[in-house]
Amino acid sequence: MSKQTYRVCFCFRRRFKLAEAEVPDEIKALFDLYSENGIMTADQIHRFLIEVQKQEKATFEEAQSIVESLKHLSLFHRKGLHLEAFFKYLFGDTNPPLDLKLGVHQDMTAPLSHYFIYTGHNSYLTGNQLSSDCSDVPIINALKKGVRVIELDIWPNSENDDVEVLHGRTLTTPVQLIKCLRSINEYAFTASEFPVVITLEDHLTPDLQAKVARMVTQTFGDILFTPGSECLKEFPSPESLKRRIIISTKPPKEYLEAKNIKDKESDSQKGNAASDEEAWGKEIPILSDDKNESDKDDDDDAEEDLDEGDHKLQHDIAPEYKRLIAIHAGKPKGGLHECLKVDPDKVRRLSLSEQQLEKAAETYRKEIVRFTQRNILRVYPKGIRVNSSNYNPLIGWMHGAQMVAFNMQGHGRSLWLMQGMFRANGGCGFVKKPSFLLKSGPHGEVFDTKAKLPKQKTLKVKIYMGEGWYYDFHHTHFDAYSPPDFYARVGIAGVPADTVMKKTKTLEDSWIPYWNEEFEFPLTVPELALLRIEVHEYDMSEKDDFGGQTCLPVWELREGIRAVPLHDRKGERYKCVKLLVRLEFV
């Protein structure tokens, strides 16, 4: 027998064993309860869908389609399913934890400020923040995944006659702005028809601003949203902006004022310090740990403030450029207290680094929530994240921040949370904020992120088993001479009171781990809770091997027994790896 034939036979025996001998006892008991003489008919499947799967609107036709889709496994029982076919249905792609048929189901007619928006940071970078290439490829990839906010840092080229996109004051190689704009135009609505916002970090002279205005209007034409007024009094809705491009940046006047303020502060604090030290020099010590940076000055993170060394800007403003700006950004004079004031006659965007938000939340947490009810808050990674890592997005979301900006190339647990959030609402890139972040009480009171809240509900998660690693991984990937030793980590990412991770036992030498363990998660704010699941392979002598992960919005989970697909580190779904899980709210 050849090695290939042996492998096929081994996989077949594994598959047969999975369907017969390793069906969890609880699944067997449910099958016995909803079947007769070893066969589950369409009527019985319909009752199972309603009573166990909590699909109250399930129809008999849906149950019949399940029978039809699996009749090839029931050659002698075409009117129903035997145990193997029933188990195949439960572990199949038609039984996911989120209802894919829902699509975009939230109200999309509220102002933009009422939504969390899938937001990128330095969207043009292929790698780290200091020396990687700039390209339109990461922009295209982000748009294909549903990202709705693209950030471009625009600078003059070396001849000062054209505009490039790059991370200024670094060794990143530039890409032409026109190339990025054309790629956005081509791929903007590949994954979602809802609007794309381009946030510009502008380091240009007025003549080049005028050139950008021509590029933008010629590239996007009629799909460019230009409100025509000095400043919006209220943001339009995602519904009204379908298939539109929106420009957001600081108006040139505010840009110049920000530069003057930054220069004066720098002079008073540092005397005649060198300009490169003000911008990136202080942030370059890559070996510093985050915990050692907690007392750094806020200006270290102020990437949107200007620094010395920019091309000298004239007070003449390119009017055609100014007219492009639909969402005005900037920090008013007077410190954070003034920044967070709500103007009833206009709306705007404010940007804070993750560190600035954390510090601001200590004193102004209610003011931040109140600000984000009408205005847009963008949060971006602190400057010392030179390796393009990310931060906990819940810091922004629980304060109502709409644009929690992430390095989409910074793969890791933080990005998994971001991907999990935007699996909600059909993956369209806009998720309606919970009502408690949008409303004020009779006396102006708003949600307090530090208030002790009662438990609203409890999510029970039972991890039965997993399979598919044998097909998606090489058979020596985890251990050279024995099957893997898998364990699962299960938990919640949410407000601090709800955040927790738990762990199953480790199962030795099994490609098909059978944990059969249940976990309970009391939730005070389920509207902001994300279910986290990871699988790892225990390694006694080295770091445990990664075996898959997923992150799911709790408020959209379907109760019942579900097949949960796992993803790789980048968030790409494996072909075969799944967990069989039971989800229940009590």
Q: Catalytic residue numbers?
A: 121, 167
DSSP string for 166-188: --TTS-PBPEEHHHHHHHHHHHT
Q: Residue 294 CB: number of other CB atoms within 10 A?
A: 10
Q: Backbone phi, then psi, for 5, in 5-degree steps?
A: -65, -40
Q: How far is CA 71 from CA 20, 46, 325, in A?
A: 17, 16, 58
CB atoms within 10 A of CB 387: 12
* Listed residue (409, 371, 393) closest to 117, CA to CA: 393
Burial 112-149 (b: 16+ CB within 10 A, else e): bbbbbbbbbbbbbbbebbbebebbbebbbbbbebbbbb
Structure tokens at 196: 């794309």
Q: Are 24 and 516 in contact (CB under 8 A)?
A: yes
d(CA 290, CA 522): 30
Q: Which among 194, 195, 164, 201 is positioned nearest to 181, based on CA atoms?
A: 164
- 556-558-563-565 Cα dihedral, nearest 10 degrees: 0
Maximum Cα–Cα distance for the chain, whole Å? Answer: 88
Other CB atoms within 10 A of residue 306 CB: 23
Helix, strand, or coil (residue 521): strand
**545: phi then psi, degrees, rounded to nearest 5:** -80, 145
CA angle, 252 then 257 then 259, to 5°: 95
